[in-house]
Amino acid sequence: MAPEVVIGVDVGGTTVAAGLVDPDGRVLEHHQVPTHARGPGTALETIGELLDRLGERARARGVTVTGVGLGVPGIIDAERGAVGVDIHYAPELARASLGAMLRERVGVPVFVDNDVNALALAEWTWGAGRGARSLVMLALGTGVGGGIIVDGRLHRGHAGFGGELGHVPIDFDGPPCVCGGRGCLKAYVSGTDIALRAGERLGRPVSAAEVFRLAAEGDAAADAIVEAACAALGAGLSIIVNGLNPERVLLAGSVAKSLRPLEARVRAALARYAFAEALRATHLEILALDKDATVRGGAALVHYETRRRKMTTS
Ligand SMILES: [Zn+2]
C-alpha cells in the first residue's frame, strides 16, 4: 500500500500555502501562490489549482492523499466546513461551503477551520504544545487570532467565535476595529496596526519589522509604539492567563518573531495584570516558526477531525 499523506492548506490574505504532510508532521512538498494571483475575488480558484497541483505531486511520489485540511482567516463553521461572514482578508470566501465544494474536486474528505485553530492543533500535535492538556495559541501577524485547546479538545465556541482573542477590548475608549468593536488587542499588536501607527508618526510608510528595528536602534517614536504593543500584549495575555489558566501559552506570527528579543518587556507587562500564581503556573513561549508551520496546521486539522468524528459516531 502506498504511504499516506494529507494536504495542509493555509489561506492567507496575500498568499495561499499548501503542502503534502506525512503522519509525523513533515512537510514533504510546499507550494505557495499569491491568493489573488488571478485577480480580485479569485481565492477559491487559486486554492483549487493548488490542490490539483499537489494531487499530481502526490501521484508522482507514489503517496496517497487521504484528506485535506484548510486553515482560513475568519469565523468558520467547522462542522459543515463553511465560511462565515467575518472573513476580512479573503472576503470572497464569505458564506462559501468550502469543504463541500473542494471535496467535489479532490474526492477525499476536506476539513475547514480557522487558521489559528489549525496552527494550535499543529503545535499541539507535533510542536511546542505537545503533551499539553490545555494551551492557547496567539498568532500576531497581519491580524491577530487565537486558538484554544482545553482538556484535550479544541474549543471552537458555540458559534465558531471561540479563540477570537485579537478582538478582546483592552482599551474601552480605543479606536474602532474592523470587527465592529473598539480598542481591540489587534489595534496595538498586529503588524498592520503597528506599521500604520508608525507611518503616521514618522511621516513615511514603514513595515512592522522596521519599527522594531528602529526601536532597537534607539528611535524614540518607534520605541513608544513598541512599548505600547508590549503593554497591550501584557493586558491581552492576562485575559488568557486569568480567564483560562492554560498550561501553555504560545505566541506565533511575524510580530511574535520581532518580540523574541523583547520577551522580558512582554513578561513584565503581563505580570502587571495577571494573577501571580496563575502566571507562575503558565509556560509562555514566543515561537519562531518556519514557513511550513501553517501548512502543518491544515494537516493537523485532518488528523484531529478524523479522530474526533470517529469518536462521536462510534
Ligand atoms: Zn476587533
Question: 181 C-alpha vs ligand 1 centroid, how far in Å?
Answer: 5
Rounded distance between C-alpha atoms, residue 36 and residue 277, angstroms:
47
Question: 98 C-alpha vs ligand 1 centroid, how far in Å?
Answer: 25
Rounded distance between C-alpha atoms, residue 301 and residue 314, angstroms:
20
pLDDT in tens, 78-94: 999 999 998 888 889 99
Question: 176 C-alpha vs ligand 1 centroid, how far in Å?
Answer: 8
Question: 54 C-alpha vs ligand 1 centroid, how far in Å?
Answer: 35
Superfamily of domain 4-119+291-313: ATPase, nucleotide binding domain (3.30.420.40)
Predicted pLDDT of residue 89: 81
Rounded distance between C-alpha atoms, residue 29 and residue 296, angstroms:
11
pLDDT in tens, 252-292: 999 999 999 999 999 999 999 999 999 999 999 999 999 89
Q: Which pTM does this prediction carry?
A: 0.96
Annotated domain spans of the chain: 4-119+291-313, 132-286
pLDDT at residue 314 above 70? no
Question: 233 C-alpha vs ligand 1 centroid, how far in Å?
Answer: 14
User: Fold identical between 4-119+291-313 and 132-286?
Assistant: yes
* Cell numbers representing residue 132 in the block: 499539553
Question: 167 C-alpha vs ligand 1 centroid, how far in Å?
Answer: 4
CB of 12 closer than 8 Å to CB of 18: no
Question: 236 C-alpha vs ligand 1 centroid, how far in Å?
Answer: 13
CATH assignment of 132-286, among 3.30.420.40, 3.90.1530.30, 3.40.50.280, 2.30.130.10: 3.30.420.40
Q: Which residue has the cell 502506498?
A: 2
Sign of CA dihedral 243, 249, 253, 258: positive
Percentage of the chain modeled with pLDDT above 90: 91
Helix (H) or strand (E) holding 34: strand 27-34
Q: C-alpha angle 161/163/168, rounded to 5°?
A: 90
pLDDT in tens, 127-184: 999 999 999 999 999 999 999 999 999 999 999 999 999 999 999 999 999 899 999 9
Question: 221 C-alpha vs ligand 1 centroid, how far in Å?
Answer: 25
95: left (phi over 0), alpha (psi -120 to 50) or beta: left
